[in-house]
Homo-oligomer: A and B are copies of this chain.
Amino acid sequence: MGLDFHLLNTSSTGGRRAALHLPHQTVQTPVFMPVGTAGSVKAVAQNVLESLNAEIILGNTYHLYLRPGHEAIGRMGGLHKFISWPRGLLTDSGGFQVFSLSQLRKVSDEGVQFRSHLDGSSHFFTPEHSMDVQIALGADICMAFDECTEYPAERTRAEESLRLTIAWAERSLHHFRAHQHEVAWHAELPGRSQSLFGIVQGGMYRDLRRQSAERLVEMDQAGSGFDGYAIGGLSVGEPRDLTLEMIAEVLPLLPANKPRYVMGVGYPDEIEQYARLGLDMMDCVLPTRAARHGLLFTSEGRLNIKGKKYAEDQGPPDPACDCMVCRRYSRAYLRHLMQASEPLSATLNTIHNLAYYLGIMQRVRGSLHSNA
C-alpha cells in the first residue's frame, strides 16, 4: 500500500482535516512541507525540523540526481537514510528545475535534453528516467514528470505543453507501477510502497486546466491510477486572483478521497486560504529563501530584519510567536547577525519562518477539526 488518506472532517468551505498515512510518517493535513532542495532544508538541522513538528519535507530530484546522484543515494538505502530523516519525504519530478535552472534545454515528445547548471554536462530526462530516479531516492511520495508552462503563455503554447504533460503522466504512471517494488526499503517496510501523484497543468486557461484534471483522473482504472493529485504551474508570476480561479476550476474535479497538493505556494495568507478551500498539501521555498534574505513573516506582517530601526530593538522578532528564536533572541541580535554575515543568521531566520508557516497550518487544522 502506498498511502492511506483518512478524512477526519470536512468544513462548509470545503477545507479537509485528514491523516495521511505514509510509509515513514503519518502526516496531519492540511500540511505545509518545508523544501529541502539538495537533501537539507537550508541552514536547519533535522532535529530542529523535528522539534518544529515538520512531518514531511521535500527533496528536489533535479538537484539530487546531479549531486550526489540518485544511484549513490539508492545504494545507501534511499534519501531517508542518506539525510537521516525518518519522517515523510516527497520528491518532485525534476521537471520544474530542468525548466527553471538548467541550460540549453531541448524538449521533444521523448523527454528533455538539458545541461547541468553545475558543470554544463549533458543529461536527458524522460518520464521513465524521472521515475527511476525517484524510485532510487525512495521518497514516500513521487511526482509525475511534467512540463510547467511558463507565464504568460499563448494558448497554442499552453495546449502543446499540456499535450506533453498528459502523455508524460501516462508514461510516468506506467513506468512507476512496473518498478515501484525496486525501492530500497521494500523489504524493510513490508506491504508499504511509494505513492505517485499526477500534476494538473494547463497554464492560465480554465478549460485546459479542466481537461488536464479530467485526463489525469481518467487514468485511475482499476485502482492503479495516481495516489493523489497536484496542481502545478501556479504562482509563476500571475496575479493572485488568477491563481485562485485556476484552483477553483480544478478542485471540484479531483476525487475527494485522495490528497490534493498545490505546488510552490505561497504567502502565509495564501496557504491558509487554500487549506480552507480543501487543498491538503503545500510547499514553497518562500519561508526559507526569504529568511536568508532577512525577511521574516510575523503576526504583525512582514519584517525586514536588516532595517536600521531594529539596531537596538530588544523585542522578539514576533511578540506573538513562541518559537525557539522568538523566545530567546531579539530583533537587534538577528539584525546584527545579518549585518555581520554570520551563518547563524540564516539558521535563526529560517527557524522562525518555518515555525510561522507550520503554525498557520496547525491553527487551520485545529479550526477544521472543530468546524464540522
Contacts and interface: CB of A to CB of B under 8 A. Distances in A.
Contacts of A333: 39, 82-84
9 contacts: A39-B342, A40-B337, A40-B344, A42-B344, A63-B340, A68-B311, A77-B314, A82-B330, A84-B329
A164 B117 CA distance: 56
Contacts of A122: none
Contact of A312 (B46, B76, B342, B346): B76
A67 B340 CA distance: 7
A333 B46 CA distance: 12
A8 interface: no
Interface string A316-337: 0000000010001110110011
B43 A344 contact: yes
Contacts of A63: 340
Interface string A72-88: 10011100011110000
B332 A76 contact: yes
Interface string A20-38: 0000000000000000001
Contact of A344 (B44, B75, B328, B330): B44
A161 to B, nearest CB: 30
A255 interface: no
A13 interface: no
Given A38-B340, A40-B340, A81-B314, 4 more contacts: A38-B336, A42-B343, A82-B333, A343-B346
Q: Which 8 pairs show the lowest CB-CB distances between chains A and B?
A: A43-B343, A38-B340, A40-B344, A40-B342, A68-B336, A84-B328, A84-B329, A343-B346
Interface string A328-359: 11101100110110111011100000000000
Please state the number of chain copies in the assembly. Answer: 2
A54 to B, nearest CB: 15
Q: Which of A40, A47, A81, A328 has the most CB of B within 10 A?
A: A40
A67 B311 CA distance: 11
Interface of A: 38-40, 42-47, 63, 67-68, 72, 75-77, 81-84, 311-312, 314, 324, 328-330, 332-333, 336-337, 339-340, 342-344, 346-348
Nearest to A44: B344
Contacts of A77: 314
B42 A328 contact: no
Contacts of A330: 76, 82, 84
- Identify the interface centre among A311, A337, A340: most chain B CB within 10 Å of its CB: A340
A342 B68 contact: no
A75 B314 CA distance: 10
A15 B82 CA distance: 43
A76 B332 CA distance: 9
A329 B311 CA distance: 37
Contact of A38 (B324, B329, B342): B342
B342 A42 contact: yes
A354 to B, nearest CB: 14
A83 to B, nearest CB: 6
A45 B332 contact: no
